[in-house]
């Protein structure tokens, strides 16, 4: 079977730019059902950010290679997180000698932000849920997609695909591997990681 848009053979992972541009957003789908969502309500208003700090550990370094010499290993020692989600607007810093614990604490806290943002947005968008409930069976797929949109909390890191994520990648993957929905890689770095 071939894609009607780009004529490529369709597979489970079929994604091309022309096809993605043709896909309807959840707001397009709501509009098709006669529900006009105001322009300002179509943008996700909340985001979070994080930043790791590390120290140089000069103990137990690998042997020098033919073209390299190990001077120190970067070891994460703290992570700060902040968001613009109501009641979570103050930065919080986690300090720990265990990289696993830092990843766990940061990820748990980010999930708290996401849950709080979802509750605020769910209340703000109650009028959409009320309209979707009127014809339950026909609108369940769109309702599910809208809920998924509200639950996708944006987390932004600065230079994180080059430094922060590689610094804790092994521990991060331990924590989120079973939750990953979507990944965009650039070289060996994550530029986008979506979890369930």
Q: 119 near 130, Cβ under 8 Å?
A: no
**Where are the extended beta strands (E) located within 7-153?**
47-57, 73-83, 92-95
Q: 44 near 154, Cβ under 8 Å?
A: yes
2: in domain: no
Task: Tokens 């766990």: give the residue.
Answer: 104
User: Residue 133: enclosing H or E segment and its boundaries?
Assistant: helix 126-134
158: in domain: yes
15: in domain: no
**Where are the extended beta strands (E) located within the chain?**
47-57, 73-83, 92-95, 154-157, 180-186, 189-195
> What pLDDT sits at residue 13?
55
Task: Tokens 């073209």: give the residue.
Answer: 67
Task: Tokens 């992972």: give the residue.
Answer: 13
Per-residue model confidence as pLDDT tens digits over 88-147: 999 999 999 999 999 999 989 999 999 999 999 999 999 888 888 876 666 788 888 899
91: in domain: yes
Look up the domain containing 133 and give its range: 25-58+69-195
Q: What is the pLDDT confidence band of residue 30, given thresholds at 50, 70 and 90? A: confident
Q: What is the pLDDT confidence band of residue 5, given thresholds at 50, 70 and 90? A: low
> What pLDDT sits at residue 8?
63
Q: What is the tally of structural domains in the chain?
A: 1
Alpha carbons 153 and 47: distance in angstroms, whole number? 6
Q: What is the pLDDT confidence band of residue 171, given thresholds at 50, 70 and 90? A: confident
SS3 at position 162: coil
75: in domain: yes
9: in domain: no
Residue 14's Cα: distance from chain center in Å?
21
Q: What is the mean pLDDT of residues 160-166?
A: 80
The mean pLDDT value of the chain amounts to 83
> What pLDDT sits at residue 24?
80
Burial class (CB in 10 A: 0-12, 13-18, 19+), 77: middle
Q: Using the predicted structure, report yes or no on whether residue 189 has a pLDDT greater than 80.
A: no
> What pLDDT sits at residue 16?
60
Q: 54 near 116, Cβ under 8 Å?
A: no
> What pLDDT sits at residue 80?
95
115: in domain: yes
Q: Which residue has the higher pLDDT, 166 or 77?
A: 77
> What pLDDT sits at residue 9?
61
8: in domain: no
Two tokens, residue 37: 């969502």
């Amino acid at each position: 079977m071939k894609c009607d848009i780009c004529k490529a053979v369709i597979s489970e992972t079929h994604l091309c730019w022309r096809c993605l541009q043709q896909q309807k957003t959840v707001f397009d789908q709501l509009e098709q059902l006669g529900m006009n969502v105001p322009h300002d309500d179509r943008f996700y208003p909340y985001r979070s950010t994080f930043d790791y700090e590390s120290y140089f550990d000069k103990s137990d370094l690998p042997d020098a290679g033919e073209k390299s010499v190990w001077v120190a290993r970067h070891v994460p020692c703290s992570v700060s997180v902040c968001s613009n989600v109501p009641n979570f607007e103050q930065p919080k810093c986690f300090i720990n000698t265990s990289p696993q614990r830092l990843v766990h604490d940061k990820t748990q806290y980010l999930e708290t932000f996401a849950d709080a943002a979802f509750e605020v947005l769910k209340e703000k968008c109650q009028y959409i849920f009320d309209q979707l409930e009127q014809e339950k069976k026909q609108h369940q797929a769109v309702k599910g997609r809208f809920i998924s949109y509200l639950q996708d909390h944006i987390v932004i890191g600065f230079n994180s695909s080059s430094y922060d994520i590689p610094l804790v990648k092994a521990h991060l993957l331990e924590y989120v591997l079973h939750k990953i929905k979507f990944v965009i890689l650039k070289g060996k770095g994550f530029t986008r990681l979506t979890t369930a």
